[in-house]
Amino acid sequence: MKKLFLAASVVLLAACASPQKEQINFIPTAATSAAKMVEGKSISLSSQDVRAAQYVALLDNGRNTITPVHTRQNVRIGIENALVNQFSSQGYQVTVNSANSLKVVIQEALVSVKHSVMANDMNSSVVVELTAENAKGKLIKKYTATASRSGMMSASNSDIELVFNDTVNKLLEEIANDTELQLYMKERF
């Protein structure tokens, strides 16, 4: 019993002593539409995150130390929820079972940060593939949003958070304003 208690104590102390992961808030904003484009058409929306790693930023301080940064919220769920709000504002009813499906695949979502005590450079890229499909056909589109930012001093988590959220919001706006996708969904769904 003593050995079990000692082993549990060591594991607990090791967990407390290990460094905490860097995290930022991920709060995407849907690009909602003031006017409905369709009325009563239903779609089902699914999403998948195929990124090799789940961090959203890599901090390189130039001294052979690269630190990953994660989000407190799930990236896939955040983007999917924003798209549900976006398509709902356009007049679509998002349901579980619809003959009209949209599939969102998150291929890349990363902010590369090179920083020192005096300066920082951030380059952000988000890539999403969207597939609109039903019995009448299939449309596959790839959306890419990028952003760059430089600043004085070292990059803070709030700086990284701002760049990442802005890049995702830019991507959501691109999807909302894509006339080819809008026309395809209007005619075929």
Domain locations in the chain as residue ranges: 22-188
38-63 mean pLDDT:
92
In this prediction, what percent of the chain has a pLDDT beyond 70? 89
pLDDT band at 124 (very low <50, low <70, confident <90, very high): very high
Query: How large is the average pLDDT for residues 160-183?
Result: 96
Highest mean pLDDT: which range of 56-70, 100-114, 143-157: 100-114
Assess whether pLDDT exceeds 70 at residue 18.
no
Does the structure show a pLDDT above 60 at 165?
A: yes
Averaged pLDDT of the chain: 88
Instruction: Give the least confident one: 18-22, 35-39, 125-129.
Output: 18-22
SS (H, E, C) the chain: CHHHHHHHHHHHHHHHHCCCCEEECCCCCCCCCCCCCCCCCEEEEEEEECCCCCCCEEEECCCCCEEEEEECCCHHHHHHHHHHHHHHHCCCEECCCCCCEEEEEEEEEEEEEEECCCEEEEEEEEEEEEEEEECCEEEEEEEEEEEEEEEECCCCHHHHHHHHHHHHHHHHHHHHCCHHHHHHHHHHC
Task: Indicate the pLDDT class of residue 116, thresholds 50, 70 and 90.
Answer: confident
- Homologous superfamily (CATH) for 22-188: ABC-type transport auxiliary lipoprotein component (3.40.50.10610)
Q: What is the pLDDT of residue 9?
A: 52
pLDDT tens for 61-70 read 877 788 999 9
pLDDT at residue 17, as a whole number: 41
* Distance separating alpha carbons of residues 41 and 30, to the nearest angstrom: 20
Q: What is the dihedral of CA 102, 105, 27, 185, to 10 degrees?
A: -20
Sign of CA dihedral 180, 181, 182, 185: positive
Q: What is the pLDDT of residue 155?
A: 83
- Supply the pLDDT for residue 63: 78
Report d(CA 133, CA 186) in Å as an integer: 12
pLDDT at 90 over 90: yes
- Asked whether the predicted pLDDT for residue 3 surpasses 60, the reply is no
C-alpha distances in angstroms, 106 versus 14, 35, 170? 35, 28, 15
| 173, pLDDT greater than 70 | yes
